Amino acid sequence: MANTKSAKKAARQTVRRTATNKARRTRMRSSVRKVEEAIAAGDKEAARVALKEAEPVIARTAQKGMVPRKTASRKVSRLSKRIGAMASA
């Protein structure tokens, strides 16, 4: 348990930040999952719409420092590449 006043405050902030970060991470993963499910179902239009909704969520998650910027960029790139490949498949 925290002993000093500043350590107690830091512990409170950590609890708040953990809850916020968990919500952000969950939101990002859910949006990516929606895109992947649409791709798996073979519905290109639904996948494109889901990616359009997921892209800003992923970018915002990276902006807030939850994932590295390049990781977010890579996720979007790979998803869009998979959607683009659906037409030729």
Backbone angles phi, psi at 24, to 5 degrees: -65, -45
pLDDT at 2: 80
Residue 62, domain CATH = 1.20.58.110
Total number of domains in the chain: 1
pLDDT at 43: 92
Report, as an integer, the average pLDDT of 5-9.
95
CB 47 within 8 A of CB 38: yes
Backbone angles phi, psi at 34, to 5 degrees: -60, -40
The pTM assigned to this predicted structure is 0.85
Q: Which domain does 61 fall in, by range? A: 5-88
Q: Does residue 89 surpass a pLDDT of 90?
A: no
pLDDT at 31: 97
